[in-house]
């Protein structure tokens, strides 16, 4: 019973579809979900507090400065109480406000202060939905971590046809069921993950090193996304300028050798994601003192190979996780070279990344990748923020882990 005793905070926005909130509330309550509601000022134009109260068996919150409900109504406790926040209907205006981070009434303040997932259920005219302003908001909201249910295509209340129609209460209900089902399952499984990220530095002398352009952002975002999904995650990071979240368990390393030692200590884990741009070579000898500009300096640089961490894990019977995910940074023959790496390093999945493009890949906030699986499936993720790409990769990882577990149990 995935929905049993779950707590849902339902925020009713101002649109003609608001009446569907009543149907959904009835469905949820019937399935033992506790529903508390915030009714926005414009939502009140479409549904009455009395009808919501009768269906939810709970009081309806409206005002941010409500003396009667002072304890319960403050923007922190309402979102802390909930397992999930659902905004229905989410209007174009609401999307724009959330994009700007506004906190101008109880609804927007609670959403901004929420530490739970916030699901937005858009409903608006097709032109409004497709307008660049709304689509820009959508991009940012996805990047902020909001999740969306719909919209779908269909005939609208205004008589026009197209994308923008709100998902039906049944569709929303089924989304919620899957959402809680997955979350509960992942929680129960207690999955663990190790993610490597960033460049490594291979020192030549005390002040000079060999390294690369990697910012570490994509790996960090994947670690964040996995943690959010309930996976106990450790990030092993080379030198980056990322301001890591305090909640993230981070092990900082400098060289490839150190990365290898730390990763080995953290294994076994259920999943390992090698997103680091590990230097392939290191100087055979690190000079104790700064190398002087003598004529022979250039001939001092003797290199040796670093161990390939991903390949080492892939080939190890003892350390191989249930799911091994590699990255493949390529400037040519992306698919061919990536599949070769996937096989060579015994990965289950490889994230192929074309690093020849200036606006995606290394050292930028955007990425465009292919997720290639061992079974030949390829998922093309168009250019988007690294946080969005990470959420997709994390979802794929969890789906695979759950399928693996089902097959082995």
Q: Which one of residues 306, 360, 384, 387 is an interface residue with ligand CTP (CB under 6 A)?
A: 306
* Choice between 97 and 217, CB closer to ligand CTP: 217
Phi, psi of 373 (to 5 degrees): -100, 160
Q: Which one of residues 61, 180, 327, 362 is an interface residue with ligand CTP (CB under 6 A)?
A: 327
Q: Which two tokens stand for residue 300?
A: 């001092």
Interaction mask 172-201, ligand CTP, x per CB under 6 A? ------------------------x-----
CB count in 10 Å sphere of residue 223: 31
Q: Which one of residues 326, 339, 391, 394 is an interface residue with ligand CTP (CB under 6 A)?
A: 326
* Choice between 170 and 340, CB closer to ligand CTP: 340
Number of residues that bind ligand CTP (CB under 6 A): 16
DSSP state string for 286-354: --SSPPP--TTGGGG--EEEPP-HHHHHHH-TTT--SEEEEEEEESS-HHHHHHHHHHHTT-SEEEEEE
Q: How far is the CB of 212 from ligand CTP (least distance, A)?
A: 9
* Choice between 114 and 197, CB closer to ligand CTP: 197
Q: Label the pairing between strands 271-274 and 323-330.
A: parallel
405: nearest Cα among 226, 178, 175, 191:
191
Q: Which one of residues 256, 272, 393, 394 is an interface residue with ligand CTP (CB under 6 A)?
A: 256
Q: How far is the CB of 211 from ligand CTP (least distance, A)?
A: 13
Strand-pair partners of 84: 8
Residue 202 found at the interface with ligand CTP (CB under 6 A) = no
Residue tagged active-site, from 158, 274, 294, 347: 158
Q: Is the peptide bond before 186 cis (omega within 30 degrees of 0)?
A: no
* Choice between 60 and 275, CB closer to ligand CTP: 275
Residue 355 found at the interface with ligand CTP (CB under 6 A) = no
Q: Supply angle C-alpha 79, 83, 84, rounded to 5.
A: 75
Q: Is-catalytic flag, 347?
A: no
Residue 47 found at the interface with ligand CTP (CB under 6 A) = no
* Radius of gyration (C-alpha) of the chain in whole angstroms: 25
Residue 334 found at the interface with ligand CTP (CB under 6 A) = no
Residue 276 found at the interface with ligand CTP (CB under 6 A) = yes
Query: Strand ranges (DSSP E) for 13-166?
Result: 34-39, 60-61, 84-90, 118-122, 147-148, 152-155, 161-165
Which residues in this chain contact ligand CTP in the complex, by CB under 6 A? 196, 256, 274, 276-278, 280, 306, 308-310, 326-329, 341
């Amino acid at each position: 019973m995935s929905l049993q005793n779950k707590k849902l905070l339902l925020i009713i926005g101002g649109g003609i579809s608001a009446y569907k909130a009543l149907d959904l509330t009835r469905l949820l309550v019937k399935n033992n979900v506790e529903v508390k509601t915030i009714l926005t000022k414009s939502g009140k134009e479409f549904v009455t507090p009395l009808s919501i109260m009768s269906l939810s068996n709970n009081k309806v919150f409206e005002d941010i400065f409500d003396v009667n409900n002072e304890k319960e109504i403050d923007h922190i406790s309402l979102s802390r109480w909930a397992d999930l926040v659902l905004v229905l209907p989410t209007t174009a205006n609401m999307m724009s406000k959330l994009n700007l981070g506004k906190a101008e009434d109880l609804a927007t303040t609670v959403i901004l202060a929420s530490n739970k997932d916030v699901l937005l259920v858009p409903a608006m005219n097709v032109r409004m939905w497709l307008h660049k302003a709304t689509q820009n908001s959508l991009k940012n909201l996805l990047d902020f971590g909001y999740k969306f249910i719909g919209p779908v295509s269909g005939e609208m209340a205004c008589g026009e046809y197209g994308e923008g129609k709100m998902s039906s209460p049944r569709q929303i209900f089924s989304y919620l069921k899957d959402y809680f089902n997955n979350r509960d399952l992942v929680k129960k499984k207690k999955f663990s993950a190790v993610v490597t990220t960033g460049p490594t530095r291979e020192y030549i002398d005390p002040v000079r090193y060999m390294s690369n352009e990697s910012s570490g952002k994509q790996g960090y975002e994947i670690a964040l996304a996995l943690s959010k999904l309930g996976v106990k995650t450790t990030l092993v990071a080379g030198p980056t300028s990322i301001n890591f979240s305090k909640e993230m368990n981070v092990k900082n390393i400098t060289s490839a050798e150190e990365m290898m030692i730390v990763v080995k200590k953290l294994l076994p884990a259920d999943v390992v994601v090698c997103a680091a741009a590990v230097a392939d070579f290191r100087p055979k000898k690190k000079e104790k003192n700064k190398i002087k500009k003598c004529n022979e300096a250039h001939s001092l640089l003797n290199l040796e190979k670093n161990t390939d961490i991903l390949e080492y894990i892939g080939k190890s019977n003892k350390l191989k996780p249930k799911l091994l995910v590699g990255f493949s940074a390529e400037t040519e023959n992306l698919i061919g070279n990536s599949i070769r790496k996937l096989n060579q390093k015994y990965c289950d999945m490889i994230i192929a990344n074309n690093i020849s493009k200036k606006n995606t890949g290394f050292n930028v906030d955007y990425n465009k990748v292919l997720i290639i699986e061992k079974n030949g499936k390829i998922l093309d993720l168009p250019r988007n923020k690294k946080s969005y790409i990470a959420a997709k990769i994390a979802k794929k990882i969890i789906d695979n882990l759950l399928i693996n577990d089902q097959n082995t149990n």
